[in-house]
Amino acid sequence: MGRTKSTKGKRTGRPTQAQSAQIEERLRRAAMEEFLDKGFEGTAMEAVARAAGITKRTLYARYADKNKLFSDTLVWALTQYHSAELPQDIEKWGLAEGLMEVARSTLARARDPNVARLHRLAIMQAARLPTFSTQAYSTTWSPRVRSIANLLRSHQERGAVAVDDIDVAAEHFLAMIGQSTLWLSVLGQVRPRELEERYAQHAVNLFLRAIQVPPSSRIRRRATGRAVPASVRRKQRPQ
């Protein structure tokens, strides 16, 4: 019987999909730490590779230059933060409760010091990477926009709300809730939680008044099988 050849020290080919994902995760986390600690100018590709435990060849095979590494990593990091703490199965929530829950999670992210640091870094490099700002904005807010949009669709199917463009309405809601808090946080200012809660509840109430269909209109729709015109809905809303 022939002797089995040892494979020790020999290359085993390309990494598996799972190994590749682990390398990418490690690389992104290392890059983010370097960028946050040293800024864009002070970060070297060699230092990122060393911190991630990979070779420079592996790093450059994935990212051709520091601009690409920075933009992809920062978008990834912001998405990780903004995707956290979203309510599960939001389609099953009551409308007011679901909106308020997303509002609270949005405010928690906006107040997070790490999120503020990431946004400061993004602002500082926006002029260098013109397409980055648009990509970062659309990607980082999209999980919350989808969450609100799913909630609105589920209630629109029941006839409880009337919204012409659900995705736009969801984005407007998030802007009311989180933009001012995020910008204050980026500037190093944090409002008291009690005040943030009051602001959030006020925004939810305003939003509900704009989209909710009065009970009388819901009854009429069920009876006729037709939607009540928007002009009629507006007249029937409580003042």
Which CATH number covers residue 55?
1.10.10.60
Report the C-alpha gap between 125 and 127 in whole angstroms. 6
Q: Is the pTM of this model over 0.75?
A: no
| The pLDDT value given to residue 13 | 61
pLDDT tens column, 164-209? 999 999 999 999 998 899 889 999 999 999 999 999 999 999 999 9
Contact 78, 115 (CB under 8 A): yes
pLDDT of residue 169: 95
What is the phi/psi pair of residue 159, to 5°? 80, 10
**Which domain CATH number covers 137?**
1.10.357.10
From residue 151, alpha-carbon distances to 15, 95, 125, 166 in Å are 41, 7, 35, 10
69 within domain boundaries: no
Tens digits of residue pLDDT in 75-127: 888 877 766 667 788 889 999 999 999 999 889 888 888 888 888 888 888 77
202-238 confidence digits (pLDDT tens): 999 999 999 999 876 655 555 445 555 444 444 555 5
Domain that holds residue 43: 17-64
Q: Same domain for 144 and 214?
A: yes
